[in-house]
Structure 1
Amino acid sequence: MTDAHEQQDPTRRHPRPDFPQQDQEHPGWTGPMDPPPDHGEDSYVGSGLLTDRRTVITGGDSGIGRAVAIAFAREGADVLLTHLPEEEKEAQETARLVQEAGRMAVPVVCDVREEEQCRSLVERAVDAFGRIDVLVNNAAYQMSQPEGIGAITTEQFDRVMRTNLYGMFWLCKFALPHLRPGSSIINTTSVQAYKPSPHLLDYATTKGAIVTFTQGLAQMLAEDGIRVNAVAPGPVWTPLIPATLPDTQNFGKQAPLGRPAQPAEMAPAYVFLASQRASFITAEILNATGGTPLP
């Protein structure tokens, strides 16, 4: 593998479409993906930026969540990560990688659509760690509906809203008493917040709301010394893609860099926002879109 510190052409650093067409049932799994996603397993090198931080990452079993868990652990943090019951095998692999870095890994089954499960999750984190230093709200659901708004059922709309918004709201609310000055909340929004794709109308709506929530909560908590920021990825090659989109062959081709990001390319943004290097940064959206201009 190329040295991560070597200057490289970003358009060629990772695989470019066309990819093989591939379809999976939701929530999707890492193993069958072609090309395989890169979570930084062989490339991320920590430098102590998050030493002894206690962190919670929702949707930490695969994709961006796994990459962030690996990076946080190699930066010195313990990690509690959530997953759905059917993602147990994925979560155990992420936990193994965290433990391999010498840090505590606590995989927890949690459906963030349920308020009591969110409450229990925070209690589990406090029982395991004694406190929460970084909360990453990363769990998300989407389902493409190329036929338009008429094809979006109330059941789908409710699932998207409860996963992407309600879970974030509840976890922030329940975690707040356990945060202290210097703690950080990082939410995952998307390029969809600014440039919505019609076939992802409900998903894009939630991602726009996450931007507003992040900026509002940041102002609310600033005087308490708690920072709140978000990362807005562009197209990223994760199991959610073959599980929810009809066309994987051309995925990411629309980005100016001509390819989707790998999860490993998102993790440094979360590390930065969680670290003391971002101590004067709050209410910000860190855009990592592969060149798509955003407001």
Structure 2
Amino acid sequence: MKRQEPRMTKIPPQTQDRLPGLESRLTPPAEHIAPSNRGTGKLAGKVAVVTGGDSGIGRAVALHFAREGAKIALLYLDEHEDAEEAERLVVEEGAECLVIAGDISDGGFCDDAVGQVVERFGGIDVLVNNAGTQIVAEDLTAITDADWRLQFGANIDGMFYLSRAARPHLTSGARIINTSSINGFAGNAKLVAYSAIKGAIAGFTRAPAKQLAPEGILVDEVAPGQIWTPIQPASFDGETVAGMGEETPLGRIGQPSEVAPAYVYLASADGSYATGQTIHVNGGMIING
């Protein structure tokens, strides 16, 4: 079956009052996996941990991994309704699913979560560090200490804590895949803290990639552009949300289903000669640097 491009219908102006947002409130609903995607067993028997797996890109990655045969551990903060739906969809794919709620900015939680995954599944083959949040600020002076720390905690502290906790359980062939952003490369005037963090993630991809390469453990990142996920209406005003993606060469916002296959490539044998690399999925947006 030919893969059909998931053209977005017009996004109506909308906002959400809760970061990082709720999948259940998106209008129109996002596409997390294409109907034409059949799966070929590329991850059969693998154990994958996906943070932020309740919604958005994380949910899409979990569903693609499940369709490829992996066992899934979904980590999320407290969006319980979204997490229940994500679990239902993963199980519908025929995959085992462990769901763990908690704050990854807490190193103790990360240690405990990894322990639960290892106890349930016997190990970890793929760690997807995807969870994150962003807070819009028009000026540096509008970024509070609390907002700065919250974003670093959710976006990169947790990435480090989980990677450190998972490290003793990773063996040759294992993968760590980090979610970066176009903003880490091009910058965003309204997302200074978030852009700085995403730039730091590039370093936390390339340095561990060199450290772990001798053991056959690969570390890469995916840098999405504007993707239709709950973080968009939870961060920006309604009119900004309605116009998202129009300035890209493709003229539209992307779907989670268009990003997740990059993670499948990096997690599977297809990506066996890629480490320390960035895959950009951004509709043709120009990257500076």
TM-score (norm 2): 0.95
Letter in 2 for 1:114: D
1:153 maps to what in 2? 144
2:221 maps to what in 1? 230
1:24 maps to what in 2? 16
Partners of 1:137 and 1:30 in 2: how far apart? 19
TM-score (norm 1): 0.94
Letter in 1 for 2:89: L
1:196 maps to what in 2? 187
Alignment of 1:67-216 (within 5 A): 67-85=60-78, 87-146=79-138, 148-216=139-207
| Per-residue CA distance 1:168-221 (angstroms, 9 max, x = gap) | 011111101001100000000000011111110000100000011101110000
1:221 maps to what in 2? 212
After superposition, the Cα gap between the structure-2 partners of 1:120 and 1:41, relative to the gap in structure 1 and judged at 3 Å, is farther
Partners of 1:196 and 1:43 in 2: how far apart? 35
User: For structure 2, which runs of at least 5 residues remain unmatched after alignment?
Assistant: none
| Per-residue CA distance 1:89-131 (angstroms, 9 max, x = gap) | 1111111111111111111002111110111111111111110
The Cα of 1:29 is off from its aligned counterpart by 1.4
Q: Which is further off, 181-190 or 246-255?
A: 246-255
Calculate the aligned-residue CA RMSD, in Å: 1.3
Letter in 2 for 1:173: R
1:46 maps to what in 2? 39
1:56 is paired with a residue whose SS is: strand
Letter in 2 for 1:288: V
Percent identity between the two aligned chains = 41
Letter in 1 for 2:103: D
2:115 is paired with a residue whose SS is: helix
After superposition, the Cα gap between the structure-2 partners of 1:43 and 1:92, relative to the gap in structure 1 and judged at 3 Å, is farther
Length, aligned pairs only: 285
Q: Residue 259 in 1 paired to residue 252 in 2?
A: yes
Letter in 2 for 1:115: G
Contact 2:184 2:196 in 1 (8 A): yes
Partners of 1:232 and 1:43 in 2: how far apart? 24
Q: Which is further off, 245-254 or 204-213?
A: 245-254
The Cα of 1:57 is off from its aligned counterpart by 0.2
Partners of 1:156 and 1:210 in 2: how far apart? 18
The Cα of 1:44 is off from its aligned counterpart by 2.9
After superposition, the Cα gap between the structure-2 partners of 1:84 and 1:237, relative to the gap in structure 1 and judged at 3 Å, is same
Letter in 1 for 2:277: E
